[in-house]
Amino acid sequence: SAAGMRFRLGARSFFQVNGDMLEAAAAEMRAAVEAVPNPVIADFYCGVGTFGILLASRAREVFGIEPDEENIRFLKKNLGLNRIGNYAVCEGTGEEWIDEILERKADVVILDPPRRGLDPSLVSRLGTGPVPMIIYPAPPTDLVVETVVVPFSGAVGGEVKVTYTVRNAHATETAKGFW
Please give the distance of CA 51 from its chain centroid, rounded to a whole number.
6
- Distance, in Å, from the CA atom of 149 to the CA atom of 172, rounded to the nearest integer, reads 10
Instruction: Tell me the pLDDT band of 39, cut-offs 50, 70 and 90.
Output: very high
How many residues would you count in the chain? Answer: 179
Strand segments (E) across the chain: 40-44, 61-66, 87-91, 108-111, 133-136, 145-151, 159-166, 169-176
Average pLDDT over residues 60-80: 94
Question: What is the chain's mean pLDDT, rounded?
Answer: 75
pLDDT at 175 over 60: no
Average pLDDT over residues 103-115: 84
pLDDT score at 32? 82
- Tell me which of 71-80, 104-113, 116-125 is least confident: 116-125
Query: 55 vs 160, which has greater pLDDT?
Result: 55
Q: Are 30 and 51 in contact (CB under 8 A)?
A: no
Query: 89 vs 158, which has greater pLDDT?
Result: 89
Instruction: Tell me the pLDDT band of 42, cut-offs 50, 70 and 90.
Output: very high
What is the pTM (predicted TM-score) of this model? Answer: 0.76
**What share of the chain in percent tops pLDDT 90?**
32
Query: 106 vs 127, which has greater pLDDT?
Result: 106
pLDDT at 145 over 70: no
Short-list 162, 158, 157, CA closest to 147: 162
Which pLDDT tens digit goes with each residue over 15-36?
Answer: 665 566 677 777 778 888 888 8
